[in-house]
Amino acid sequence: MSSLDRTRLPSRRRLLGLACAGLLALSTAGCFRPMYAEDTGDGSKLSDKFGQIEIVFAPGRVGNEVRNDLIFDLTGGAGNPAGAPYQLILQVNDSSVAAVVDPYTGLPEVELVSVDVNWQLIDTTKPVKAGAKPTPVTTGTAFGKASIDSGYQRFARERALRDAQNRASRVAAEMIRGQLASYFIAPPPKS
């Protein structure tokens, strides 16, 4: 074997390896969906499906904050559609925990605010027997967390707590939107 043949051998192997990798990539190219797909499995747009969800009133200030964020995320500001084929029912719980406490005063220095949401998506077009609750099409949980630096001023702390609740509500609403998108893009098979 001459020195010329030795230099060509690795380049042929590389070309063969690249050709195999290219063929493998081409054969699996149709198997993947983009993470932020705009259309659902049945050919309709995801934004159209989101526009068919009515978000039912959630009690409490934080529940209303999550609801408003969801309405804006799902409809793009068009408002809550009345009489839509789907209803989204929210159960919102919020809490705050002192993460760091000042050893001298006993007051919290850092607090962690949590917003936990359990949700159910109900298809209102399916008939329900009298006296029975409608069965949800899908359910899920979402949460949002935010931290605040608590001060010694009472009103400043209250406003910071409210802002943290709003931030945590926004995170929970975005998580619910993502879960709904995954449901509409790849719904479970009908039995």
Residue 56 near residue 107, CB atoms below 8 Å = no
- pLDDT tens, residue by residue, 47-58: 899 999 999 999
- pLDDT tens, residue by residue, 158-191: 999 999 999 999 999 999 999 999 898 877 777 5
- pLDDT tens, residue by residue, 121-152: 999 998 888 888 888 999 999 999 999 998 77
| Residue 171, pLDDT score | 97
Identify the band that residue 6 occupies on the pLDDT scale cut at 50, 70 and 90.
low
Identify the band that residue 13 occupies on the pLDDT scale cut at 50, 70 and 90.
confident
Identify the band that residue 107 occupies on the pLDDT scale cut at 50, 70 and 90.
confident
Residue 74 near residue 50, CB atoms below 8 Å = yes
| Residue 11, pLDDT score | 77
Does the domain at residues 39-185 carry the CATH identifier 3.30.160.150?
yes
0.85 exceeded by the pTM?
no
List the helix and strand counts (H, then E) for the chain.
Answer: 4, 4
| Residue 14, pLDDT score | 82
- The residue that leads in pLDDT, 154 or 66, is 66
| Residue 137, pLDDT score | 94
Residue 142 near residue 177, CB atoms below 8 Å = no
Mean pLDDT of 13-38: 72
Residue 95: pLDDT above 90?
A: yes
Q: Phi and psi (nearest 5°) for 70? A: -65, -45
Q: What is the 3-state secondary structure (H, E, C) of 35-58?
A: CCCCECCCCCEHHHHHCCEEECCC
Phi-psi region of 155 (alpha: psi -120 to 50; beta: other; left: phi over 0): alpha
Extents of the domains making up the chain: 39-185
Q: Locate tokens 């009908």: which residue?
A: 190
Q: What is the mean pLDDT of the chain?
A: 86
